[in-house]
Structure 1
């Protein structure tokens, strides 16, 4: 499957900002399925879409012990009382804060994003050919006399996809401090558009070692152990302000930030779980209204806004009277008066002026809209991003495992620039759906006609035309789960009750408990699954799967111990049931589809997919196992042979727009795990040129006059399957009823197309495992509406 739910995360992020949202699941889910979208990651998905002007190569190392009138003028404060080693942050539209860092001897200087939500350092490597690497500075080990080869493989997954590379060691310098033999990653792949559209070359992780990929010792940890800094702390103070690029400072080894706070007094609170900088937020008030009591929170410099738990966000939304987009942003009238906001931390109230909760955004077309600084990422905890740190300087005390806060005295402007620069956090977590909602969903969707008892019907729930999932149970007695039924993969897995407490994705979803199931059989083999937007690690078990009124005993499935990365945090579904063929299943295992056919639970080893794309509707269609439903499509079914038995993959003769050929003789995959339509980068460029689209930092804008836009024609085995503008164009409504329109396509670094939910919403699809073929027919138009 691909977790298209990531690339989507990045594109989604942009889409979200542009007013309706992250429609690309995680495609948040959907980056190359949970592959290309499932950031989102959200960005953490980080969907950091910012102005792409290449940053200056000039480094500014501002030693905190030096007193300079130039520095004083720069920040409007005196730095005479500031100690520690400090480096200036550059502010891009209040959405992205970066600084300079060098690696090697002589120094190779990079623009990096200081990120308290991750723990590794990485920069583009010399062998990276991704689009992002081509426009950012690369590290060249051959040019450094202090380089040491490590060679261990490195992989970390964001909302836009998996960044991979090799580990190396060299001297890393930041803020005038040098750490020799620091382990970092040279990337060889940076997929998606999120990193293409960012100003930074790489990332400086400032989290704890427990979340460091490959257990690499962090930069701050080395600074402390090697005596580079005597006080094992670092501080971040951010500065906001209209078009100003002055962004505050990152300070190592000191809590003295009087230049920003006006005092040395901080309120400290203990870290509740080492990994992220996590603590207990004792309360959140909007005016005199208590929105939230005690709950967990994370301080994350890699997130632009503030993400609230869903329940708290709903209360805030009700008070503000704003319009919520499908990606979780809250749009409001710019004239709206907002009460002050209070964060209760360590027994003290931290007050932020209400007008700072309202952010003005300029669209690429020069229009002004307003959004709330608080967004909804479906989390059970708070993520306090840049919108919080700008108001409260934060001390990260590594030695004492605590976080300190003090109100910032720096001025912050309300207007923060272009909407294309909004980033989405990479750390989104989806709460488990309550049993009451699950039961209500089942009751309205699980009817089966009496004359159709030879087929198994699995109703689907639709989340904003981005994520489709169904309900199944595992074990005896039944343990209920929400699962994505994924035609892009063949294995089944569920979160395990034995998963690590530090793994947010697992802890915030339903978990399978083998000790509660009398039908459980131990397997014990370990497994690792890689998706475009993440990976899953665990061990295999065997139990009975219950679905659609049927039982499937002895299904080998995975109990997930770890789910990386944030893409799995941001989705609703708990696990995945793979609907792919046996060629891509685990060795010595029979996947779901093959097993139910072997056990003759259905007469035909066939299933069909009907997706319902009705805006605002929870009913998402159904998957019919054992045959087809003629009421769901019109005309005849057009069958095409598979070209690769691992995937539901077939050949497209041609893709065209009018007389313009977009692609010829190219393969395509039908993928319920992808939100949009993904295609090779070259095809993407040709297509958008034919559509006369304007590309603006990861989004392709077209006219909203849909009648003037052409159909995109897919010629498949002699029959043409058009995709209409109603399918591939997303209309976003800005304030004052200003409309912009974007396409639902995304480029991938592969040589085939992935036809996700945008295509599957228009066409009823049949998957015939016996004849090794797929079938296509026009879905009933009055139900399969464009979303």
Structure 2
């Protein structure tokens, strides 16, 4: 599921506000479901959530969650003259990478590929890159070039050029990923795009905000250098980070009908624009599902679509404040085809 969120690292004032429209497209999972291939795919590439205590995150590779539900992406360009690519603006990772002409994987064959020989400003960094996913990996090498985000050139930006990609990337609309987490999470110690924006004084304030619409509606936006007041009402709730690697916070508890169903005594969580799921320990997820009347079916938590209006809200208690999610925000209605097409609701 998605929230309209604000993520901030407030430091200083500078030049301008940059806005990049985001497209709500079909996710890899939705495409596979329409073809009746999702269960087969999930069996071959089982889900493996991020382990936040994995010490390997601090060195040469970066673990990420299965991103089969990614759906929001925007356009950037790289090189001189510019070559355009669609990327997911992902707060759950820190590297920028795109397919390259040196990649022969199926995922590269149906996406745009960067050709460094066509850019007069490209420089090879002379370093390899490997990013581990829950369902595979991306491998390649790193280079430097000008990256244009929202019309603003970020000079000498390091990025990855893939030479091989995991099979599931072939089903995604976006070409690559632009990570917005902290440098500490970046593979090969690469400097993230937003950190270079701040260093090069390209933004009005050292903050960015993300607004995500629902149900394929237009208007999704990532704003660098401020917050678009058209996308919220009331006061912004500022939540302190518990760690500066992911956008990591402390959740006090999760309740349904006033009863604690998860995070009893507090737990750690990350705010991740790169996934549409609530991910957590199996015991907590099962408890949350039971509390809202969901049952397990073929690896998913399923509810009766006719009951959505009568299902209870789920409340996340964070930093002394309550954030209420009605059932309409945590249930996804999807049509799947087996012998016939039917609609079910997934929690």
TM-score scaled by structure 1?
0.36
Unaligned residue ranges in structure 1 (runs of 5+): 1-22, 30-36, 49-156, 163-190, 193-427, 429-464, 745-787
In structure 2, how many angstroms separate the alpha carbons of the residues matched to 1:677 and 1:24? 19
Cα deviation for residue 27 of structure 1 reads: 6.0
1:727 corresponds in structure 2 to 329
SS at match of 1:498: coil
In structure 2, how many angstroms separate the alpha carbons of the residues matched to 1:561 and 1:733? 35
Please list, as runs of the form range in 1=range in 2, the aligned pairs for 1:493-508 lying within 5 A after superposition.
493-499=97-103, 501=104, 503-508=105-110
In structure 2, how many angstroms separate the alpha carbons of the residues matched to 1:638 and 1:538? 40
Residue 742, structure 1, aligned to residue 342, structure 2: no
In structure 2, how many angstroms separate the alpha carbons of the residues matched to 1:512 and 1:687? 43
In structure 1, how many angstroms separate the alpha carbons of the residues matched to 2:323 and 2:150? 31
Q: Which of 84, 90, 102 matches 1:486?
A: 90
Residue 46, structure 1, aligned to residue 41, structure 2: yes
Given that residues 293 and 311 in structure 2 are in contact (C-alpha distance below 8 angstroms), is that contact kept between their aligned partners in structure 1? Answer: no
Given that residues 95 and 190 in structure 2 are in contact (C-alpha distance below 8 angstroms), is that contact kept between their aligned partners in structure 1? Answer: no
Please list, as runs of the form range in 1=range in 2, the aligned pairs for 1:282-301 lying within 5 A after superposition.
none
Cα deviation for residue 700 of structure 1 reads: 2.4
Q: Which of 73, 79, 84 matches 1:475?
A: 79
Cα deviation for residue 47 of structure 1 reads: 3.4
Residue 640, structure 1, aligned to residue 239, structure 2: yes
Residue 604, structure 1, aligned to residue 205, structure 2: yes
Given that residues 46 and 160 in structure 1 are in contact (C-alpha distance below 8 angstroms), is that contact kept between their aligned partners in structure 2? Answer: no
Cα deviation for residue 159 of structure 1 reads: 6.2
SS at match of 2:220: strand
In structure 2, how many angstroms separate the alpha carbons of the residues matched to 1:578 and 1:161? 20
In structure 1, how many angstroms separate the alpha carbons of the residues matched to 2:198 and 2:213? 27
| Partner deviation per Cα, 1:218-240 (whole Å, 9 max, x = no partner) | xxxxxxxxxxxxxxxxxxxxxxx
Given that residues 652 and 717 in structure 1 are in contact (C-alpha distance below 8 angstroms), is that contact kept between their aligned partners in structure 2? Answer: yes
Point out 4+ residue stretches in structure 1 off by more than 4 angstroms: 40-45, 732-735, 738-741
Please list, as runs of the form range in 1=range in 2, the aligned pairs for 1:684-703 lying within 5 A after superposition.
684-703=285-304
SS at match of 1:483: strand
SS at match of 1:551: strand
1:213 corresponds in structure 2 to none
Unaligned residue ranges in structure 2 (runs of 5+): 1-24, 50-64
In structure 2, how many angstroms separate the alpha carbons of the residues matched to 1:473 and 1:648? 26
In structure 1, how many angstroms separate the alpha carbons of the residues matched to 2:164 and 2:323? 41
1:655 corresponds in structure 2 to 254
Cα distance, 1:24–1:688 mapped onto 2, change above 3 Å: farther
SS at match of 2:237: strand
In structure 1, how many angstroms separate the alpha carbons of the residues matched to 2:186 and 2:334? 40
Residue 707, structure 1, aligned to residue 306, structure 2: no
1:583 corresponds in structure 2 to 184
Q: Which of 221, 241, 248 matches 1:622?
A: 221
Given that residues 41 and 567 in structure 1 are in contact (C-alpha distance below 8 angstroms), is that contact kept between their aligned partners in structure 2? Answer: no
Cα deviation for residue 472 of structure 1 reads: 0.6
In structure 1, how many angstroms separate the alpha carbons of the residues matched to 2:200 and 2:115? 25
| Partner deviation per Cα, 1:133-185 (whole Å, 9 max, x = no partner) | xxxxxxxxxxxxxxxxxxxxxxxx726459xxxxxxxxxxxxxxxxxxxxxxx
In structure 1, how many angstroms separate the alpha carbons of the residues matched to 2:130 and 2:211? 31
Given that residues 473 and 545 in structure 1 are in contact (C-alpha distance below 8 angstroms), is that contact kept between their aligned partners in structure 2? Answer: yes
In structure 1, how many angstroms separate the alpha carbons of the residues matched to 2:98 and 2:36? 21
| Partner deviation per Cα, 1:425-467 (whole Å, 9 max, x = no partner) | xxx9xxxxxxxxxxxxxxxxxxxxxxxxxxxxxxxxxxxx951
Given that residues 604 and 626 in structure 1 are in contact (C-alpha distance below 8 angstroms), is that contact kept between their aligned partners in structure 2? Answer: yes
Cα deviation for residue 544 of structure 1 reads: 0.3
In structure 2, how many angstroms separate the alpha carbons of the residues matched to 1:546 and 1:652? 36
Please list, as runs of the form range in 1=range in 2, the aligned pairs for 1:373-392 lying within 5 A after superposition.
none
1:103 corresponds in structure 2 to none
Cα deviation for residue 680 of structure 1 reads: 1.5
Q: Which of 573, 584, 595 matches 2:196?
A: 595
In structure 2, how many angstroms separate the alpha carbons of the residues matched to 1:733 and 1:558? 36
In structure 1, how many angstroms separate the alpha carbons of the residues matched to 2:38 and 2:129? 26
In structure 2, how many angstroms separate the alpha carbons of the residues matched to 1:513 and 1:728? 41
Larger radius of gyration: 1
TM-score scaled by structure 2?
0.78
Cα distance, 1:471–1:24 mapped onto 2, change above 3 Å: closer
1:458 corresponds in structure 2 to none
In structure 2, how many angstroms separate the alpha carbons of the residues matched to 1:42 and 1:643? 39
Q: Which of 117, 134, 141 matches 1:532?
A: 134
Cα deviation for residue 473 of structure 1 reads: 0.5
In structure 2, how many angstroms separate the alpha carbons of the residues matched to 1:543 and 1:28? 34
In structure 2, how many angstroms separate the alpha carbons of the residues matched to 1:26 and 1:477? 31
Cα deviation for residue 497 of structure 1 reads: 1.0
1:562 corresponds in structure 2 to 164
Give the paired residue count.
Answer: 300
In structure 2, how many angstroms separate the alpha carbons of the residues matched to 1:467 and 1:732? 15
1:514 corresponds in structure 2 to 116
1:244 corresponds in structure 2 to none
| Partner deviation per Cα, 1:48-79 (whole Å, 9 max, x = no partner) | 5xxxxxxxxxxxxxxxxxxxxxxxxxxxxxxx
Cα deviation for residue 733 of structure 1 reads: 6.8
Residue 676, structure 1, aligned to residue 277, structure 2: yes
Cα distance, 1:732–1:543 mapped onto 2, change above 3 Å: closer
| Partner deviation per Cα, 1:666-703 (whole Å, 9 max, x = no partner) | 11111111122222100111112222323222232324
Cα distance, 1:585–1:732 mapped onto 2, change above 3 Å: closer
2:45 corresponds in structure 1 to 158
